Amino acid sequence: MTKVLVLKELNNKQVDQILVIVIKASELDGARPFSEHVELHLRSGGDRPVTHLLAEDENKNIVGYAHLDTTDLVSGPSGELVVSPNSRKKGIASLLLKEMKNQINNQPLRLWSHGDTDLARSFATKLGFIPVRNVIQMRRSLFSQIQPLFEIEGLTFRNFDADKDSAKFLELNKKSFEKLPDQANWTIKDLDLRLKESWFKSEGFVLLENKNKDLVGFCPTKPN
């Protein structure tokens, strides 16, 4: 029988089990089950109060996990969840969702779905969720021809420097994503976590500044 545990912190063993489920689900679904933010903070311990929901089987093995964030006072609570591929279609996702709603006293819940799979759409429709936002991922082969970097009068391109650009970047990031609080609310810890990732390269983080050295644009890249 599956049991759902509600926790404020996870131990290393629990995190390791969840990350194994993340990998298995990613391989099956063709997409990571969590946003970059959730996965980074799952590994690092998090930077703000969240609720962790673990679904355990009769042997106390973790077969599902949900991440509930109630810190957004504007848009309301949001959640993301994953169920181990070997344990799907057994009502585990519904149990996790029910407990998430219990934790927020049945307030409206925003539920993120990554990958837009048939199973995710069916689950969302069955439980009365409707799509309200769609994030589009665009790709271009690194082997295709790319035009040389062009110049814009009065503006200069340069690479990101963590020592002098972090505060400027966070300020512009907040203004740029004013209506997207999950992006706009980045803190210095959120940025530092990404700078420490193996994929981060400063030459792939391009900034645009004006004659007064004000930062007016940015384009980070994340190679897979």
For the segment 60-78, what is each residue's pLDDT rounded down to a tens digit? 999 999 999 888 777 789 9
Whole-angstrom distance, CA of residue 18 vs CA of residue 160: 33
Segment 155-160 mean pLDDT: 92
Q: Higher model confidence: residue 125 or residue 22?
A: 22
Contact 6, 99 (CB under 8 A): yes
d(CA 147, CA 145): 7
159: tokens are: 């690479």
107-126 mean pLDDT: 85
Does 87 have pLDDT greater than 80? yes
- Say which CATH topology domain 3-126 has: Aminopeptidase (3.40.630)
The secondary structure of 145-177 as a DSSP string is --PPPP-BTTEEEEE--HHHHHHHHHHHHHHHT
pTM for the full predicted model: 0.77
Query: Quick one: pLDDT band at residue 122, thresholds 50, 70, 90?
Result: confident
Q: Grade residue 46 by pLDDT with cuts at 50, 70 and 90.
A: low
Phi, psi of 5 (to 5 degrees): -100, 140
Q: What is the pLDDT of residue 180?
A: 75
Task: Give the burial class of 85: count Cβ atoms within 10 A of its Cβ; 0-12 exposed, 13-18 middle, 19 or more buried.
Answer: middle
Over the stretch 182-203, which tens digit does the pLDDT of each residue have? 788 888 988 988 898 888 888 8
28-45 burial: b if 16+ Cβ within 10 Å, else e:
ebeebbbbebbbbbbeee
Query: Which part of the chain has CATH 3.40.630.30?
Result: 3-126
pLDDT band (50, 70, 90) for residue 224: low
